[in-house]
């Protein structure tokens, strides 16, 4: 599951060196999907996301990604459900306002990048592996900046993060599934080098 992003930009050469990018929060978000009543998937997104990416295509091991998601920005297109998800029954945003990811290792497998790191959610930190689609070649935007884009997907069990609230159906199944698919879709802008900003 992906949240598509669009960039109507002119292609520019990719700089083959370690480069740091800032996540463009206005063109980035995190989407999730969870099973509902064992018959369908409920989808939503966290619209506020920030962080940084350090990337060198010639030295993938040097890749570093840090992202912070504002959990209160959750949107499932149903206000009452969103309020319930923000409550202590689920995310408890008053106590745990953010979800964070900090990478520890990157490698290539079957032509795709794998990114291992720590996901902190609801006061619990667990190691997860993201499957990365991208990054795209670097492109130039109308303001003279340089951008890249990527999507990263992982699956977690919400109970591993203390999100245990549920109700049972008469048939014995649960209203909310345990497995959650998370897709982070990112557009990021290259930070000026220290020399260039002097």
pLDDT in tens, 178-192: 889 999 999 999 987
Q: What is the mean pLDDT of residues 43-58?
A: 91
Question: 74-94: buried (b, 16+ CB within 10 Å) or exposed (e) per residue?
Answer: bebeeeeebeebbeeebbbbe
Which residues does 85 contact at the CB level (< 8 Å), separation at least 6? 44, 74, 76, 91
Distance CA 148, CA 190 (A): 8
- Domains of the chain (ranges; CATH) run 10-189 (2.40.128.110)
Distance CA 165, CA 153 (A): 24
pLDDT of residue 153: 94
Q: Is the full-model pTM beyond 0.85? A: no
For the beta carbon of residue 64, count every other beta carbon within 10 angstroms: 17
For residue 6, pLDDT over 60 is answered with: no
Average pLDDT for the chain: 82
Residue with structure tokens 């998370």?
182
For residue 1, pLDDT over 70 is answered with: no
Q: Is the dihedral of CA 125, 18, 21, 114 positive or negative?
A: negative
For residue 142, pLDDT over 80 is answered with: yes
pLDDT above 90 covers what percent of the chain?
A: 54
């Amino acid at each position: 599951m992906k949240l598509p992003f669009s960039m109507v930009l002119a292609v520019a050469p990719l700089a083959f060196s370690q480069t740091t990018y800032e996540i463009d929060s206005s063109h980035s978000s995190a989407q999730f999907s969870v099973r509902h009543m064992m018959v369908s998937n409920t989808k939503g997104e966290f619209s506020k996301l920030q962080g940084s990416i350090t990337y060198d295509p010639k030295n993938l091991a040097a890749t570093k990604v840090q992202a912070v998601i504002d959990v209160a920005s959750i949107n499932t297109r149903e206000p009452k459900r969103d309020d319930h998800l923000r409550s202590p029954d689920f995310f408890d945003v008053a106590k745990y306002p953010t979800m964070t990811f900090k990478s520890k290792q990157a490698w290539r497998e079957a032509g795709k990048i794998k990114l291992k790191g720590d996901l902190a959610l609801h006061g619990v930190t667990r190691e997860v592996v993201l499957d990365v689609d991208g990054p795209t070649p670097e492109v130039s935007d109308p303001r003279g900046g340089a951008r890249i884009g990527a999507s990263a997907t992982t699956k977690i069990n919400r109970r591993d993060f203390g999100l245990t609230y549920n109700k049972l159906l008469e048939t014995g199944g649960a209203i909310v599934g345990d497995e959650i698919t998370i897709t982070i879709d990112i557009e990021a802008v290259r930070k000026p080098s220290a020399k260039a900003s002097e």
